[in-house]
Amino acid sequence: MSGRGPMDSRTQRYFEDIQLKHFGRLFGRLVRVRLFLSLLLLLSAVCVAVIDGAPWRCVFMSVVGVGAFTYFFHEFRRFQRDGVDARSVPLNLWMGQIILTSIIVGTGGIASPVLPAALPLGFLSSLAATPRDRSRLLMAQLSTLMAVSFFQISGLVQGLPLWFLGAPSAVLLVAGALVTAIMLCVCSAAGGAIRTTFDNMLSEALASRDELLATHRSYAGALEAMSGEIAHELKNPLATVKGLTQLMAREAGRAQPAERLQVLSGEVVRMQGILEEFLNFTRPLVPLTVSPVDLGALCDEALVLHEGLAAGHGVRLERKGTEGVEAVCDSRKVKQVLMNLLHNAIEACPTGGRVTVEVRALPVGEARVFVRDSGPGLASDLEARVFDAGVTTKAKGSGLGLTVARALARQHGGDVTLANAVGGGCEAALTLPRELPAEILRPLHGVANVG
């Protein structure tokens, strides 16, 4: 259907099942109403035949009335027994058109008082039918209308109008036929537009569901993989802690083994870092607390906090860029992203290397922070997977830092990218909006999930 993207077979079947379910409810109400109306139709046919007095009309309307009641009663019983299936709707639409056309012909043709009933039926038909059946039904309605108009206006068929309503002029017949044809097209277009809107809304809802399910499956798979990775990562430091603890217990009466305590402390810190990154990845992102933030000042704070790490690696830190570049963001979360990018950049640099942080305002309402290092850059097989959970080049890394950093940036409506720089090394770019869009601001009181 128009406006819908391609669906897989499973989603398509689910889409059709939902359509059938809801149209089935509407159809169930319709068959009950039709059964009652068919009784009125039978009584009306008898009354019209008696009042008009034309023998052909009496016979014709009696046959139509009995036939309509029989068919509608059969459909009512079948619906009670079997419900609705994919063939019920188009079959009933076509039979409804045939019965209504017969009634219009039998009660005066273009001058029939029942003629306006073709408009709501045309609207309901276009609303319930598929695009192909909708076009066919409209063509059948217009063709029948033109045929009845031609035979009635040309005088080839006599005696169609009811005598007690008077004989209409040819001008009125032509005007009535034209107005009815135009209104039939309008009703068909309106019903088709509503049906298309309904289909598009349902399709988008299913697409969103599929996207959320895919994200959940990916996230669950990453958690499963990372659970095994975390268990493996913690196994070695735990063994070290256990061994050192036992050794220190045996040497309790001797001098304090300071170097062993340092190793013990380092392994505990390492385990703590692994668990913190894992918790950052698994727990939901808490709501944003936004305010205008000077990105340059935030970068300076992050650089100061990394001076010790940079000195230990023999790496020089530099800051470039214009001053006064602001972004509307959560300073705590953005600082966490910058800390992660700086930490990675420093560890990627060789001794004597350099890490440069540059803040730049973009002309499209965004601000960007570049973190460049002078390291070897990304391997070609790693570029496409660097933000996947568990992917890391560090011997003792968990592979979660960049995953969390990108999730935090995207929570703001921004992003984090990582690529090899033109002059060598690697360049990480944090992009943030200088004003948060409305769709980001609206759910701030809720909780957004990672991914």
Q: What is the pLDDT of residues 353-367, one digit of tens each?
A: 999 999 988 887 888
Higher pLDDT, 99 or 423: 99
Residue 30 pLDDT exceeds 80:
no
Domain spans of the chain, in order of start: 9-214, 225-282, 291-445
pLDDT at 316 (0 to 100): 92
Q: What is the CA radius of gyration of the chain?
A: 38
pLDDT at 258 (0 to 100): 63
Interstrand relation of 354-361 and 366-373 (parallel, antiparallel or unpaired): antiparallel
How confident is the model over 373-377, as a mean pLDDT?
Answer: 87
Residues present in the chain in total: 451
Higher pLDDT, 186 or 133: 186
Assign 115 a pLDDT band (cuts: 50, 70, 90): confident
Interstrand relation of 366-373 and 426-433 (parallel, antiparallel or unpaired): antiparallel
Q: Which of 82-91, 150-159, 370-379 has the highest mean pLDDT?
A: 370-379
How confident is the model over 74-100, as a mean pLDDT?
Answer: 80
Q: Which two tokens stand for residue 192?
A: 């088709």
Assign 67 a pLDDT band (cuts: 50, 70, 90): confident
Average pLDDT over the chain, rounded to whole? 77
User: pLDDT tens-digit profile of 418-448?
Assistant: 888 887 889 989 999 877 655 554 444 443 3
- How much of the chain, in percent, has pLDDT values that exceed 70? 70
pLDDT at 317 (0 to 100): 92
User: pLDDT tens-digit profile of 246-303?
Assistant: 666 666 555 556 666 666 666 676 676 666 666 655 555 556 778 888 998 999 998 9
Residue 28 pLDDT exceeds 60:
yes
Q: Which of 223-232, 346-355, 439-448 has the highest mean pLDDT?
A: 346-355
User: pLDDT tens-digit profile of 122-179?
Assistant: 888 887 777 888 888 899 989 999 998 888 888 788 778 887 777 778 888 889 889 9
Residue 109 pLDDT exceeds 80:
yes
Neighbours of 128 (CB within 10 A): 21
How confident is the model over 225-232, as a mean pLDDT?
Answer: 62
User: pLDDT tens-digit profile of 312-325?
Assistant: 889 999 998 777 78
Residue 370 pLDDT exceeds 90:
yes
pLDDT at 444 (0 to 100): 45
Residue 393 pLDDT exceeds 60:
no
Higher pLDDT, 447 or 332: 332
Distance between CA atoms of 344 and 373, rounded to whole angstroms?
A: 9
Query: Class for domain 291-445, per CATH?
Result: alpha beta
Q: Are 336 and 412 in contact (CB under 8 A)?
A: no
Query: What is residue 417's three-state secondary structure?
Result: strand
Q: Are 432 and 414 in contact (CB under 8 A)?
A: yes
**Cβ contacts of residue 298 below 8 Å, gap of 6+?**
331, 334, 335, 338
CA angle 264, 270, 275 (to 5 degrees): 130
Higher pLDDT, 382 or 229: 382
pLDDT at 181 (0 to 100): 92
Higher pLDDT, 402 or 438: 402
CATH of 225-282 given 1.10.30.50, 1.10.287.130, 3.90.1150.10, 3.40.640.10: 1.10.287.130
Distance between CA atoms of 131 and 244, rounded to whole angstroms?
A: 76
Burial 330-365 (b: 16+ CB within 10 A, else e): bbebbbbbbbbbbbbbbbbbeeebbbbbbbebeeee
Position 34: which residue type? R
Q: State the sign of the Cα–Cα–Cα–Cα dihedral 272, 278, 279, 285.
A: positive
Residue 106 pLDDT exceeds 90:
no
CA angle 38, 40, 43 (to 5 degrees): 110
pLDDT at 409 (0 to 100): 86
pLDDT at 6 (0 to 100): 55
Q: How far is CA 12 from CA 3, 7, 16, 202, in A?
A: 14, 6, 6, 11
